[in-house]
Copies of this chain bind each other. A is one copy, B any other.
């Protein structure tokens, strides 16, 4: 996915948080924080730590990702050439103090959590916009009767407010999951074989300081090959995509010419048919959401990390996690676009309801319950 495709899938904003530059910055941030943490435990002097921090900032801004990539291939990860670059900036004396005690995975896992921490707010912003739109629709259409459809057959009436409330509940629920994931992001620090040997006897203190410096959680242990944290994060993203996909599917269905109950404010055109009102934001939201199950399965399948560092499964997480963040952010953005100013044709809704049955039971209560939960 790049410039030609990103806007179609709503990824322009999220992509900036998962870009090469974003990763380079995150890795440099982690190395800088490690230096500071080591200094706090007396493993480094403060001046060295400061030099490392300065060098990291400089490298973060100036390093060429493509050149790093070329040097990264030999060892299989981008930390090694970045450490080299940072060391070259700090100079020979302080060079050994860079990356002190750490292994590439410590830095890359931690950098990944920083990337996630910067990507999740973008996703949450779209989710919030979509959620606000649902709340507005639910409020406005609390009593707009429409036909309920089960197995895509007309069934008995409900209200569009209740439908929008149901959409919103899914968004709110998965938003909570994303927030919990955000709050739980933890550093990884263990050294070559996960024993924190390089900082002994200050290992736990260094890890705590490392976490504090970065504003991440101190996990109290190592998780280099215990990847349930990645699975949990992926679950929150995957469920988000599922909810987005459900709402987008409903928009596409209700926007069908024959139903005509909703219409996107900025419906797409067609290269051949000027009269069409394609719900293109919802269509592309569905397409984005549909990437999640497969990509998340890749993350789950990568959990069995061999012994003290996975010989492939760890590396497999990088493209999968990036793709999952991108597609979640993208489909949430497209959904927000679809729902913003969604035009509701109450006349069409009324026409599809049988005259002799407008009993909508507790539909209003469902709306009230949903709205109360948000306030």
Contact = CB atoms under 8 A, between A and B. Distances in A.
A208 interface: no
A308 B248 contact: no
Contacts of A352: 258
Contact of A369 (B102, B220, B359): B220
A178 to B, nearest CB: 11
Interface stretch (A5-13, A43-51, A118-126, A339-347): A5-13
Given A151-B252, A279-B311, A286-B311, 14 more contacts: A4-B24, A4-B68, A148-B193, A148-B308, A152-B257, A152-B307, A153-B278, A155-B309, A166-B194, A174-B228, A246-B305, A286-B304, A286-B315, A290-B313
Q: Which of A248, A256, A277, A322 has the most CB of B within 10 A?
A: A256
11 contacts: A7-B73, A74-B269, A148-B194, A158-B195, A191-B272, A201-B362, A227-B246, A232-B239, A238-B300, A242-B300, A294-B298
Interface string A314-354: 11101110110001000000000000000000000000100
A203 interface: yes
Q: Is the interface on chain A under 10, 10 to 19, 20 to 34, or 35 or more residues?
A: 35 or more
A273 B76 contact: no
Interface stretch (A32-40, A53-61, A77-85, A209-217): A77-85
Contacts of A99: 271
A284 B319 CA distance: 12
Number of copies: 4
A197 to B, nearest CB: 3
Nearest to A302: B290
A291 B317 CA distance: 9
Contacts of A150: 103, 192-193, 270, 273, 276, 278, 307-309
A292 interface: yes
A268 interface: yes
A75 B270 contact: yes
Interface string A236-277: 001101110110111011111111000000101111110011
A103 B361 CA distance: 14
A312 B287 contact: yes
Contact of A20 (B3, B76, B258, B313): B3
Contacts of A110: none
A141 B49 CA distance: 37
B155 A276 contact: yes
8 closest A-B pairs by CB: A148-B193, A197-B361, A242-B303, A286-B312, A235-B235, A3-B66, A150-B309, A195-B361
A192 B269 CA distance: 12
